[in-house]
Amino acid sequence: MTGTNRTQGGEGHARLPERRGIMFVISSPSGAGKSALSRLLLQADPDIRLSVSVTTRPRRPSEVDGVHYHFLSVQGFNALKDRGDLLEWAEVHGNFYATPRGPVELALAEGRDVLFDIDVQGTLQLYEKMRADVVSIFILPPSIAELERRLHRRAEDEDAVILRRLKTAETEIAHWDDYDYVLVNEDIEKCFGELKKILAVERMRRHRQPKLPETIAHLMTDLAEVVRRGK
Ligand code: 5GP
């Protein structure tokens, strides 16, 4: 169930609270399997939507404008930035990437979860602005040899681009301990299972249940009444 009427627990607990949306951030070096994991999650779980980033990077043949990214010129990107329409932005591999602010704020306010496929720089900016809403996951490749193999297998990028991505991987992996969870993607199904478990428990956290104080207050009133009558 999506939207503001979502409750947890079922079985007639009509007063159980709605939930605040999660900013579910997945980062990893290119080739560690983050995009495949994101895709699996979006297919499996209708309650989470992708935050479609804007980028000045050229579109890859397999990508669709407006689905994988909104592809922009540098001028278009700067115009959004100057208007304050970007929640975070970063330069990665010589191109600009950013998260548009509007769709994220709307989703969170409506209690929907948002998936972010962004880099370390972007994650740290989201922490500064809305740490309590962020759940961050860093995906590691099982080995560097495997990372290289996956980048070459993708075959959509030239060798020079692949080398640049490997160099960036060094800086990114060094930030592993800035993340709430770290998963090693040796087997995609197993890693996906772990990802789903994290999302499931994070959805139940106390601070994501804004109506909980009200529920507790009702329980306490009823309890006080029962205790008073029993005197
Ligand atoms: P790619 O070019 O392979 O699609 O993405 C390159 C890197 O940019 C990836 O690590 C990806 O997570 C990151 N990235 C994609 N969108 C954004 C964004 O909106 N903000 C930030 N900070 N990084 C992004």
**What pLDDT digit, counting tens, does each position of 5-41 carry?**
443 444 444 443 378 899 999 999 988 999 999 999 9
Task: Indicate whether 147 belongs to any domain.
Answer: yes
What confidence score (pLDDT) does residue 14 get? Answer: 46
Ligand 1 atom closest to Cα of 95?
2
Q: What is the CATH number of the domain that holds 163?
A: 3.40.50.300
pLDDT category at 153 given cuts 50, 70, 90 is confident
- Which residue, chain included where needed, has tokens 């709307």? 106
Asked whether the predicted pLDDT for residue 139 surpasses 50, the reply is: yes
- Report pLDDT digits (tens) over 170-225: 999 999 999 999 999 999 999 999 999 999 999 999 988 888 899 999 999 999 99
What is the C-alpha to C-alpha distance for residues 177 and 124, in angstroms, rounded to an integer?
12
The answer to whether residue 191 is domain-embedded is yes
Does 16 fall in a domain? Answer: no
* DSSP letter (8 states) at residue 161: H
Choice among 102-116, 126-140, 193-207 with the minimum mean pLDDT: 102-116
Give domain status of residue 14, yes or no.
no
Q: What is the mean pLDDT of residues 94-120?
A: 93
Inside any domain, residue 199: yes
Distance between Cα 215 and ligand 1 center (Å): 40
Give the number of other CB atoms < 10 A from CB of residue 221: 10
Residue 13 lies in a domain: no
Chain centre distance of CA 86: 16
φ, ψ of residue 31 to 5 degrees: the values are 100, -5
Domains identified in the chain, total number: 1
The confidence band for 142, taking pLDDT boundaries of 50, 70 and 90, is very high
Q: How far apart are CA 24 and CA 156, in angstroms?
A: 27
**pLDDT for 1:** 35
Q: For ligand 1, pick from 52, 117, 123, 127 the residue to mutate: most ligand atoms within 8 Å of CB.
A: 117
pLDDT bucket at 155, cuts 50 / 70 / 90? low
Burial status of residue 88 (CB atoms within 10 A of its CB: 0-12, 13-18, 19 or more): buried
130 found inside a domain = yes
Mean pLDDT for all residues in the chain: 89
Compute φ and ψ for 96, nearest 5 degrees: -95, 140
Find the 24 Cα to ligand 1 centroid distance in Å.
Answer: 15
213 lies in a domain? yes
Q: What is the DSSP letter of 6?
A: -
* pTM, entire model: 0.87
Residue 37 DSSP code: H
The pLDDT > 90 percentage for the chain reads 72
pLDDT band at 159 (very low <50, low <70, confident <90, very high): confident
Closest ligand 1 atom, CA of 123? Answer: 22
